[in-house]
Amino acid sequence: MLDIRVVRDDLDKVKQALATRGVEAAVLDDLMRIDQQARTASTKRDELRAEINSISKEIAKLMRSGEVDSANTLREKSRAVGDELSQWESKASNLEAERRDSLLKIPNVPSEDTPIGESEADNVILRWWSPETGMHSGPEIELPPYSEHQRKPHWEIGGELGILDLERAAKISGSMFPMFRGLGATMERALSYFALDAHSDAFEEIRPPTLVRTATMVSTGHLPKFEEDAYRLERDDLYAIPTAEVPLTSLAKDEILKEEDLPVRLTAYTSCFRREAGSAGRDTRGLLRLHEFDKVEILAYTTPDQAGEMHAELLSRAESLLQRLGLTYRVLDLCTSDLGNSSKRTFDLECYSPGTGLWLEVSSVSWFGDYQARRANIRFRSSETNQIEFVHTLNGSALAWARIWAVIVETYRQSDGSILIPDVLRGYMRNIERIPSK
Partner RNA sequence: GGAGAGGUGCCAGAGUGGUCGAAUGGGUCUCACUGCUAAUGAGUUGACCUGGGAAACCGGGUCCGAGGGUUCAAAUCCCUCCCUCUCCGCCA
Q: Which residues bind RNA (CB under 7 A)?
A: 4-5, 39, 42-43, 45-47, 49-50, 52-57, 59-60, 63, 75, 78-79, 82, 93, 379, 388
Q: Smallest distance from the beta carbon of 240 to RNA, in angstroms?
A: 17
Quote the Cα angle for 151-156-157, to 5°: 75
Distance CA 329, CA 323 (A): 9
For residue 338, report the phi and psi dihedrals to the nearest 5 degrees.
Answer: -100, -5
Q: Smallest distance from the beta carbon of 26 to RNA, in angstroms?
A: 22
For RNA, give the closer residue by CB, 39 or 291: 39
Q: Smallest distance from the beta carbon of 206 to RNA, in angstroms?
A: 17
Count CB atoms within 10 A of the CB of residue 77: 15
Distance CA 152, CA 161 (A): 13
For RNA, give the closer residue by CB, 235 or 430: 235
Q: Smallest distance from the beta carbon of 106 to RNA, in angstroms?
A: 16
Residues β-bridged to residue 299? 266, 395
Strand arrangement of the beta sheet that strand 232-233 belongs to: 211-212, 238-240, 232-233
For RNA, give the closer residue by CB, 43 or 137: 43
Q: Smallest distance from the beta carbon of 194 to RNA, in angstroms?
A: 26
Strands 134-137 vs 388-390: parallel, antiparallel or unpaired: unpaired
For RNA, give the closer residue by CB, 54 or 284: 54
Q: Smallest distance from the beta carbon of 114 to RNA, in angstroms?
A: 27
Q: Smallest distance from the beta carbon of 1 to RNA, in angstroms?
A: 12
For RNA, give the closer residue by CB, 5 or 430: 5
For RNA, give the closer residue by CB, 100 or 434: 100
For RNA, give the closer residue by CB, 392 or 403: 392
